Amino acid sequence: MSNWLVDKLIPSIMRSEVKKSSIPEGLWHKCPSCEAVLYRPELEKSLNVCPKCQHHMRISARNRLNIFLDLEGREEIGAELEPVDRLKFRDSKKYKDRLSAAQKQTGEKDALVAMQGTLIGLPIVACAFEFSFMGGSMGAVVGERFVRAANVALEKRCSLICFSASGGARMQEALVSLMQMAKTSAVLARLREEGLPFISVLTDPVYGGVSASLAMLGDLIIAEPKALIGFAGPRVIEQTVREKLPEGFQRSEFLLEHGAIDMIIPRNELRPRLSRVLAQLQGLPTPVLPISLAKEAEPDELEPLTKENEAPISE
């Protein structure tokens, strides 16, 4: 019996363990919505959208800009800016320790990444919130990067696009963070005066000071499917009004139905559809879409905008 254990069973178990350890970690990902187990390389090809239930998973700010902008000619804006703990703020942790942990986790210096580049040949400036960096909260660096991005758009006479994903103003920066609401709103007013489009794309989730300022000031406000969008969260509202909220409350579909946003566009359709709309808004030639992208653009988006349906750019 002992010979059988030593000669057969133990080597078999060891071979099995070797096979298991040879499978790379992170090769599979479970969809948080339908719980389907997905092959990560295929999931990345579908832009982190579940092929089973079409759930739009969160993606990093840098990855979002990389898949949205053309490959050539990208240039980051305000990359040198870093947050400073002016107030020496401390709650359960020191603010500087929270910053260090967030920077190590995300590889970013703060919660907004801004770049200038092109969208199917159209010059644009785009920025995206990094929700994994302290909940995408808006502090001094986020506000300054956004303003610099808007100033580049003013200088280049091109559109500004912002992908929002934020819990709101950063409490660790107190009034400094609240000032960013006014600061970003003021620079967007300058864009409007110059007749340059600002497109706000709302992704899951958008709350607090960001939704109360720049996120809802777009000439065109777009959302991804089923994104949570609001000021206070649904649980806070329920506790305040002491009533059950409607089904789907604060989801992008609910906001579209009630006129708070202009349209919902799936992630894989954003590039072709936005390029057409931006060209029409600025009176530029319609960009020629690659065959792979032309399939994604819906017929309605390919028709010229009329006076009745075009988004307002200036008063």
| Annotated binding residues for Zn(2+) | 31, 34, 50, 53
Assess contact for 174 and 141: CB atoms under 8 A: no
Binding site feature residues: 31, 34, 50, 53
